[in-house]
Amino acid sequence: MVRNRGLEGCLLPRAGCISPPEVLEVCLSGRHYQFRVLPFGLSLSPRVFTRVVAEALAPLQAQGVKVLPYLYDWLVSPFISRSPVGSNSNTGRSCLDPSQQVTYLGMVLDSVAMRAYLSPRCVDDIFHLLPIFRLGKMVPYIQFLRLLGGLKAASAVVPLGLLSLRPMQMWLNSLHLDAKWHRHRRVRVSQRCLHYLLMGVPRGAISSRRETVTADAGLSGWGAVWQGRTVQGPYSAQEGARHVNVLDLRAVQLALTHFLPQLGGKHVLVPSDNMPTVAQTAVPFR
């Protein structure tokens, strides 16, 4: 029997318990147990951890402490902070002295030269993996994922890096392999795979500038933002009754159609947390 103290009628007292009332407990064979880790598995733990960290940092950020968190890696700007951050830190992996050049998530951020570039370690990791991918060789699927992860990190600091990386991502997704169950399955390095690894940014894209269009949808309407310009509109009763995936796709279509005169010939990035929307918009929009 699993009970949560926050639920009415589900109180599970324990002698000498000093845990907060929200802690999940289990009663098994007359003994009481409490979880010391997140009992949700690996798939949900990062999301839950991120939300917990966001709530913990909210009071600090409200006081002017600028923190950029990513799981357990935090980047704190001491120049904007007005109060110290009190927490248990891993001194072996942390840099607690203010610096104008820091390494964060595989990137070197230089506030003097105003540049961001890959750390030497990330570069070495990518070049260490590349020789494995030879035409016709059978490579474990996990190695494809590792290389793709390194290239994804590099795309953040490479001009139009996402545009060059997308064909490789789509090819890998077409294999319909699961990262958990098929990680050790061997995949043949095809001519198409090598082409996507070696290809650069498509011709004509270098001269274009990447634009970001943010679109979102609700049950009653949609909205979008591009360079501070906003557009919004309602859904009809028939459209509002459709699935949320359809509404998100419709919002992206309406947003791009509205801004199309200004976006023609440019590389457009549409951030979205909706997977069907990401899959459908990963093609040229006309």
Among residues 167, 198, 229, which one ends one of the domains? Answer: 198
140 pLDDT tier (thresholds 50, 70, 90): very high
286 inside domain: no
Residues 63 and 78 in one domain: yes
39 inside domain: no
Lowest mean per-residue pLDDT among 15-24, 63-72, 80-89, 199-208: 80-89
Amino acid at 204: G
40 inside domain: no
Q: CB of 248 within 8 A of CB of 217?
A: yes
pLDDT of residue 90: 56
Residue ranges making up the domain that contains 92? 45-118
Among residues 118, 134, 152, which one ends one of the domains? Answer: 118
The closest alpha carbon to 205, from 142, 154, 259, 163, belongs to 163
Q: pLDDT digit string (tens) for 214-254?
A: 888 887 889 999 988 999 998 888 887 888 888 888 888 89
Residues 11 and 76 in one domain: no
> 166 pLDDT exceeds 70?
yes
5 pLDDT tier (thresholds 50, 70, 90): very low
pLDDT of residue 281: 62
204 inside domain: no
205 inside domain: no
pLDDT of residue 114: 83
Q: CB of 49 within 8 A of CB of 58?
A: no
Region 79-105 average pLDDT: 60
145 pLDDT tier (thresholds 50, 70, 90): very high
Residues 130 and 189 in one domain: yes
> 286 pLDDT exceeds 80?
no
User: What is the number of domains present in the chain?
Assistant: 4
Higher pLDDT among residues 34 and 108, named by residue: 108
pLDDT of residue 20: 52
Higher pLDDT among residues 91 and 60, named by residue: 60
What are the phi and psi torsion angles at 58 (to 5°)?
-55, -45
Structure tokens at 45: 């733990």
> 10 pLDDT exceeds 50?
no
pLDDT of residue 7: 32
pLDDT of residue 12: 41
DSSP per residue over 221-273, as a string?
A: EEEEEETTEEEEEEPPHHHHTS-HHHHHHHHHHHHHHHHHHHHTTS-EE---S
Spatial separation of the C-alpha atoms in residues 264 and 279, rounded to whole Å: 21
Region 1-8 average pLDDT: 36
What are the phi and psi torsion angles at 183 (to 5°)?
-65, -30
Count of Cβ atoms closer than 10 Å to residue 141 Cβ: 19
Among residues 198, 231, 253, which one ends one of the domains? Answer: 198
Residues 155 and 184 in one domain: yes
92 pLDDT tier (thresholds 50, 70, 90): low
